[in-house]
Amino acid sequence: MQRQLRRRRTGITLTFLALLPVLVWAAFALGGNDDDGSRLVDFATSSGLNFATFTLFASANFLLVVVVALFFGDTVASEASWSSLRYLLAAPIPRARLLRQKALVAASLSGIGLLLLALVALGIGIVVHGGGQLVSPGGQALDLLPGVVSFAGAVLYVAVNLTWVAGLATWLGVATDAPLGAVGGAVVVSIVSTILDQITALGALRSFLPTHYATAWRDLLSDEVDWANMINGTATSLAYATAFGVLAVLHFSRRDVTS
């Protein structure tokens, strides 16, 4: 963890996540209202909770996928690219334990990044737009305290939903010596899954895609929460994460490491 925190990559990533809400606020402040009469600006700037929710929505499906893929996909592949992996494995430590510790560090950094983004967005939103109600695009409103609880639940769901990205990036990371390949591979799979999810001709098959329930946390914005989509999304993500994790452990334990 100390070494990962000292890496420039980690510092840049966490700094960017902290600055993203500032950039979103600046974009709204400079851009003004949409010319086409869209309620996007009105929704995002009507309260601090709405601003934080919009920031989470804007970053969850791509930016946070990249961040999680970066922290998990780079953890082993970077050692191989530095030609230090074989020396690391010379220590009398089981490979499964080494991979577990690296995954725990990557999960910690990913969680810190997500929490940093959420807290900064909520803080800036409340300071700039006040602590009003959390209003959904459908017109349903939640008071400040229930709204904060719903927003916290949304952040938690996003974290759980991204576990499949973590598992896939870890598997790709132990299968290649190129960190960019592992990170890029996980991001490309996420993009392809999102595109396939838009094809209605696939019907019920779309529910098996790992990104199908990525935005199910929006159900938390209503007075009566429908938990079905979030339960299905949680089960799907954890199932994919478990499968990819098992593949990563099996591949890493049998890999002939020469790097």
Q: Model confidence over 59-106: pLDDT tens digits?
A: 999 999 999 999 999 988 888 888 778 888 887 888 889 999 999 999
Report the pLDDT value the prediction gives residue 37, as an integer from 0 to 100: 43
How many structural domains is the chain composed of? 1
CA–CA dist 86, 76 (Å, integer): 11
Q: What stretch of H or E contains 135?
A: strand 134-135
Q: Does residue 259 belong to any structural domain of this protein?
A: no
140 contacts 222 by C-beta, under 8 angstroms: yes
Report the pLDDT value the prediction gives residue 137, as an integer from 0 to 100: 65
Q: Does residue 153 belong to any structural domain of this protein?
A: yes
Report the pLDDT value the prediction gives residue 42, as an integer from 0 to 100: 67
Report the pLDDT value the prediction gives residue 135, as an integer from 0 to 100: 80
Give the pair of three-digit tokens for residue 37.
């009469």
In one-letter notation, the amino acid at residue 97 is: R
Give the pair of three-digit tokens for residue 64.
């946070």
Report the pLDDT value the prediction gives residue 203, as an integer from 0 to 100: 92
Report the pLDDT value the prediction gives residue 134, as an integer from 0 to 100: 85
**Which residues form the domain of 212?**
2-254
Residues in a beta bridge with 141: 135
In 3D, which of 156, 215, 216, 162 has the Cα closest to residue 189?
Answer: 162
Report the pLDDT value the prediction gives residue 132, as an integer from 0 to 100: 82
Report the pLDDT value the prediction gives residue 32, as an integer from 0 to 100: 60
For residues 80-103, one letter each, b for 16 or more C-beta atoms within 10 angstroms of the residue's C-beta and e for the rest, the string is bbeeebeebbeeeeebeebbeebb
Phi-psi group of 202: left, alpha or beta (phi > 0 → left; psi -120 to 50 → alpha; rest → beta): alpha
CA–CA dist 98, 9 (Å, integer): 21
Report the pLDDT value the prediction gives residue 34, as an integer from 0 to 100: 53
Secondary structure letter of residue 8 according to DSSP: H
Give the three-state DSSP class for 142. strand
Residue with tokens 């996540």: 17
Report the pLDDT value the prediction gives residue 40, as an integer from 0 to 100: 56
How far apart, in Å, do the first and last CA atoms of the chain sit?
Answer: 22
Report the pLDDT value the prediction gives residue 91, as an integer from 0 to 100: 77
- pLDDT < 70 positions in the chain: 32-42, 137-138, 258-259
